[in-house]
Structure 1
Amino acid sequence: MHTHQMEEWTHAHVFGQDQQRAGERRTLLVVALTAVMMVVEIATGLISGSMALLADGLHMASHTVALGISVFAYVISRRLASDRRFAFGVGKINSLAGFASAILLLGFALTMAIESTDRLINPVAITFDQAIVVAAVGLVVNGISAWVLMSTPHEHGHSHGHHHDEEHDHNLRGAYLHVLADALTSILAIVALLAGKYMGASWLDPVMGIVGAALVTRWSYGLIREAGKVLLDNQADKHQLDDLRAAIEGDTSDRVTDLHVWCIGHGIFAAEIAVVSDDPKSPGHYKSLVPASLNIVHAIVEIHRFTDH
């Protein structure tokens, strides 16, 4: 068989992973914003002797590293998109980065809980005025960062497909959760600092730290769970399986005897379908029945003729 004839029956496994994603540019901008704020908070904390500010600055530093991991994942995915060593493309690099980012966030939450508990037992003096100003600036920066990460870019329009893509972008979600965690700690810090300054309730500072740690832990667990499902080739949800089964079987005698659908990237899936039929059709026929809405970019169809014993 000639080479050009073979090309008709083969296809690449890039699945658009070689294209720069909007999430990459947005995350890079947020890394720059977070890094600048980190330097300001750490410097002000050292100059004013405020442990609260220094701790928040180090917290921002951990997120700068985590967001850097997100950017690295986007870049490496694009560069390795055509690498045939990856059986189903490089989509899972995104989920791996989100998973790693969530683990880092969990570590930060644990550290924050331990430090807050220690400060509850052994209170430290807080320079309220400087701390409140910088915490407020930090909150504004986090608000801008969250808006940058979640705003829908105009060049991609407002299609359902784009929304679906971002919904499954665990890397972008990981970056977003880090920014939310920063915003949360800034809000809690401002509330606690205001209460400490005007009501003498200095104990609120470490208590808010513990509350923040609990919320961050909950967010991280959610991301670890979602990214983990992709990394472990978890079966798609029942609705997707039912829709695919119904589309393949239709009103015919064809029956789907084995069905596997799993996520291989940003909202894209692979499927393995085994069909038993009295009158088997070609694999191409069954692939043409797969609903486009399921975003199945790679399907393997196994066909068997039904025989009476």
Structure 2
Amino acid sequence: MTHSHSENDHSAHSHDHAPTVTDDSERRIFWIMCLTGGYMLLQAIGGLFSGSLALIADSGHMLSDTAALGLAWFALRLAKKPADLKRSYGYHRFQIMAAFTNGVTLFFIAGWIIFEAMGRLLHPSEVLAGPMLMIAVGGLVINIVGFLVLHKGDKDNVNMQGALLHVIGDLLGSVAAITAAIIILLSGWTAADPLLSVLVALIILKSAYGLVRRSGHILLEGTPDHLDMELIRDKLVAYLPEILNVHHMHAWSLTAEKPIVTMHVQVDAKADLETTLKLITTYLLSEFEIDHATIQLEHGICVEAVPSHSSA
């Protein structure tokens, strides 16, 4: 059986696989890293002086955040390196690895906070609520600044979102410390300090799960959540009458904002391959915002569907 087979890759768009890494995102993360690291030292000293677990826990979180922000910043720097023969997609996937690592560290931080809180509940200790309150208020101001700076960054970049989640965890930790300090000042109930620390830890766990789930899905090359491959296939067949069948469809993400799609398209024998390919790539871009698609056009039966036979 004979058939005609044509493969045209990356037509009608650039061969550059790498999404743009903005200098703005890099600068935002760098300055918040410096700000967070600086105040972390002050808060740790204050937590030890006042005896507040909430402050110590928050400073421990801020230490992890400083490292996480440094990792995120390094990932953005590394992503600027051009693609080479061994890494045809460049270094952009390192951003996803950084985000996944940040999410996993949040689990350990939350676990440590809960463990320490249980110890404080079983063995209460004195807390100097006045110094605790002043230091916590300063931490809240720093974290609000960090949140505003990162929140205005790239909302589609999972690495940026990972850094933002760490700062949100710090912000909640500062709120918990302030609340605990006020309760202790008014009532003398020192259990408020570890109890509110546990509440923050649970919120951190929820954020960590979402980040690990999203970045892990990308690392496993799962289909992007916003792409329905069956819908894409049906719409392509309905859009162009010369398309007979669409199969061997695959979709994954290089980064959260960069989906990649491959597919085999069986077309009518009389169809002009170059024109058909341009129509398909244009339609994918306009209808589904897919700007990187590798499309194999075929006449007749797909070569991969024909079983191979070895001679005895």
Instruction: Normalising by structure 1, report the TM-score.
Output: 0.84
Matched, 1:294 2:288: yes
Gaps of 5+ in 2: 1-10, 302-312
Displacement of 1:16 in angstroms is 4.0
Q: 2:157 aligns with which of 169, 190, 193?
A: 169
Describe how 1:37-186 pairs up with structure 2 within 5 A.
37-48=39-50, 50=52, 52-79=54-81, 81-151=82-152, 166-186=154-174
Gaps of 5+ in 1: 1-7, 153-165
- 1:149 and 1:172 in contact (8 A); partners too: yes
Larger RCO, structure (CA 8 Å, separation 6 or more): 2
Report the number of matched residues. Answer: 285
- 1:271 and 1:300 in contact (8 A); partners too: yes
Structure 1 counterpart SS, 2:263? strand
Structure 1 counterpart SS, 2:251? strand
Displacement of 1:238 in angstroms is 6.5
1:183-223, Cα deviation, whole Å (9 max, x unpaired): 11111111112111211221111111111111110110001
- Give identity over the alignment, percent: 26
Which residue of structure 2 lines up, in the alignment, with residue 269 of structure 1? Answer: 259
User: 2: CA distance between counterparts of 1:146 and 1:242?
Assistant: 39
Describe how 1:20-39 pairs up with structure 2 within 5 A.
20-39=22-41
Which residue of structure 2 lines up, in the alignment, with residue 190 of structure 1? Answer: 178
Q: 1:213 aligns with which of 190, 196, 201?
A: 201
- C-alpha RMSD of matched pairs (Å): 2.4
1:303 alignment partner AA: L
Which residue of structure 2 lines up, in the alignment, with residue 3 of structure 1? Answer: none
Structure 1 outlier segments of 4+, above 4 Å: 8-12, 46-52
Structure 1 counterpart SS, 2:255? coil
1:269 alignment partner AA: P
Matched, 1:15 2:3: no
User: 1: CA distance between counterparts of 2:240 and 2:109?
Assistant: 55
- 1:66 and 1:175 in contact (8 A); partners too: yes
User: 2: CA distance between counterparts of 1:151 and 1:296?
Assistant: 25
Measured at CA, do residues 231 and 290 of structure 1 come closer, stay the same or move farther in structure 2, by a change above 3 Å?
same
Instruction: Normalising by structure 2, report the TM-score.
Output: 0.83
Measured at CA, do residues 227 and 293 of structure 1 come closer, stay the same or move farther in structure 2, by a change above 3 Å?
farther
Structure 1 counterpart SS, 2:80? helix
Measured at CA, do residues 60 and 237 of structure 1 come closer, stay the same or move farther in structure 2, by a change above 3 Å?
closer
1:282 alignment partner AA: L
1:68-111, Cα deviation, whole Å (9 max, x unpaired): 111111111112x3333223333321111110011111110010
User: 2: CA distance between counterparts of 1:113 and 1:47?
Assistant: 21
Which residue of structure 1 lines up, in the alignment, with residue 307 of structure 2? Answer: none
